[in-house]
Structure 1
Amino acid sequence: MKRDQLLNKLAITVAVCFTLISSSCISLKKTELIQPLTIADYSQEFVNSQRDAYKINYGDNLYLKVYSSDVKTSKFFRSDFPELMNDSYIYLNSYKVDEEGYVQYSFIDKVMVKGLTIEEAQNAIQGAVEEYFEDVTVQIKLVNFRISILGEVQSPGSYSIDREQITILQAVSMAGGLKDFAMADDVTLVRKSANGSIVKKLDLTDSKILESEYLFLLPDDVIYIKPRPSKTYAFEKFPYGLVAGVISIALSIYAITK
């Protein structure tokens, strides 16, 4: 009788241990991004009407640089000087778009850039510079295109974007990808609006995210990926050694009393 009672207690202990282990595991379906709804979705084309590049707005800071093979022109625009191409240098040498949408560069007439893409603004300013100089190339960079990604990613922080557009999936990749306990199906996007901020919940596990108007990020967007409640029993905190020891003792006692 005692032997049976002992075995029953050991069986209960082992069952509890396995239950705890199971509860600390995360299904891949909860962290896998852009999962297809059906088999047909694997080859489906997702059309996104918001795929256009970012349009410049008032208050934006533009880094402008003019290059030329002519020595005198290069000296005039100081493009023959060595450059410290870091964020601070670029910001200090940038030009702000005024409230009317114009940018004033050097002695040339101010140029309307509001509503233009970086490439379009670059062509407009180059045309203005070419009225005075030949053989010049204008370079433009949007200085204030920064995003922040917080929460369950490998490298949370603020990132400077050196391209005209970036998707939320690319932003997650820049941050090193999701951690094991990330809630990819409940991501918060905070975006500036005319009246304050817009807060939007996004499901990165749904392939329909590729059609969302929030797929492409804008300057100053903040992404927060929260942890799942089960993180309390995360792998690094769970006493797997103790559980393994209990199971080992249970099996040993069972073998002796069999």
Structure 2
Amino acid sequence: MKPIFNQPKTSIVAALLAIFLFASCTSTQEITYFQDETLENYEPIDFNTDVVYKTNDKISIIVSSLDPEAARPFNLPTISEGQSAIVTQGSTKMQTYLVDKYGNIEFPVLGQIKIGGLGRTEATELLKTRLKEYLKNPIVNIRLINFTITVLGEVRNPGTFVLEDEKISLSEALGYAGDLTIHGRRDNVLLIRDNNGTKQYSKFDLTSISVLNNQSYYLAQDDVVYISPNKAKVRSSSYNQNTAVVISALAVIVSLTAIIVN
């Protein structure tokens, strides 16, 4: 009679194990970002990484000329509404300008100036033209203060980073995030860029030295870099802190089943 009972016993155990494996199975789609649409639906990135000023950008503007006293009113070290003193020149804190929702800044003496949508060269020439009414051969130095990038996914320190720089490479961005973890895919790094409300993308293969010559190797303001998990990470995500409890419970069930069947 033993073989008769062994068959249902085996079937029950197999069924329990199948349920466990199915319940603990995790797919790539469940843990990987940006899976709902294919990248073909997005525009490729415009690789011109020249700074273009936009809403909420913070910039410093330093004006100088042959007559320092004449340029002084255009470099007020005080803080006014919509400005914050986060740039230090020697012991003097220089004011920075916040680009408002209309793309304007409030500039000393000159009043409201629209620089939103302009690159550094265009904004510099615009200010020089306005300043020539007051200064002889004015020199204008513009710098973006809140250059922001976001690094997500399989890196040691994911997050958003605000840098006092206007040019940063992909390698430097990953350095700020603590580099990739052992579970990050080196051959599938995704870059997402917002260009006037349109999402653009590019992909990198860090295993190839040719990535250094890629035009999109240098990031732009508000770029997002995403490192997807490799297969090992996906598999490991199938097991969580409750796995041991589930296995113990299954062991008890299997033991009780064997006793009842036998």
Please give the range of the TM-score, normalised by the shorter of the 2 chains.
Answer: 0.5 to 0.7
CA distance in 2, matches of 1:182, 1:110: 47
Structure 2 match to 1:9: none
TM-score of the two chains, using structure 2 as the length reference: 0.52
Greater strand content: 2
CA distance in 2, matches of 1:54, 1:133: 28
The answer to whether 1:209 aligns with 2:211 is yes
SS, match of residue 99 in structure 2? strand
Structure 2 match to 1:63: 59
Letter in 2 for 1:56: V
CA distance in 1, matches of 2:156, 2:214: 25
The alpha-carbon deviation at position 149 of structure 1 amounts to 0.3
CA distance in 2, matches of 1:160, 1:141: 14
- Comparing 129-138 with 218-227, greater Cα deviation is found at 129-138
Deviations 1:78-118 (A, max 9, x none): 2377x7417xx99973234846xx76633327667567542
Closer, same or farther: CA 161–133 of 1 in aligned 2, 3 Å: same
Structure 2 match to 1:94: 98
Closer, same or farther: CA 60–85 of 1 in aligned 2, 3 Å: closer
CA distance in 2, matches of 1:200, 1:94: 30
SS, match of residue 132 in structure 1? coil
Structure 2 match to 1:152: 154
The alpha-carbon deviation at position 132 of structure 1 amounts to 0.9
Structure 1 match to 2:140: 138
Letter in 1 for 2:179: G
Q: Output aligned runs, 1:230-249, within 5 Å.
A: 230-231=232-233
CA distance in 1, matches of 2:209, 2:78: 48
- Comparing 110-119 with 52-61, greater Cα deviation is found at 110-119
Structure 1 match to 2:72: 74
Conserved? CA contact 1:70–1:135, under 8 Å:
no
SS, match of residue 178 in structure 1? coil
Letter in 1 for 2:57: N
Conserved? CA contact 1:146–1:158, under 8 Å:
yes
Letter in 2 for 1:95: V
Conserved? CA contact 1:185–1:205, under 8 Å:
yes
Conserved? CA contact 1:57–1:97, under 8 Å:
no
Structure 2 match to 1:197: 199
CA distance in 2, matches of 1:212, 1:110: 39
SS, match of residue 230 in structure 1? helix
Structure 2 match to 1:178: 180
SS, match of residue 166 in structure 2? coil
Letter in 2 for 1:203: D
Deviations 1:93-152 (A, max 9, x none): 3234846xx766333276675675425533542453243135865332224531100122
Conserved? CA contact 2:174–2:180, under 8 Å:
yes
TM-score of the two chains, using structure 1 as the length reference: 0.52
Q: Kindly, what percent of the aligned residue pairs are identical? A: 24
SS, match of residue 85 in structure 1? strand
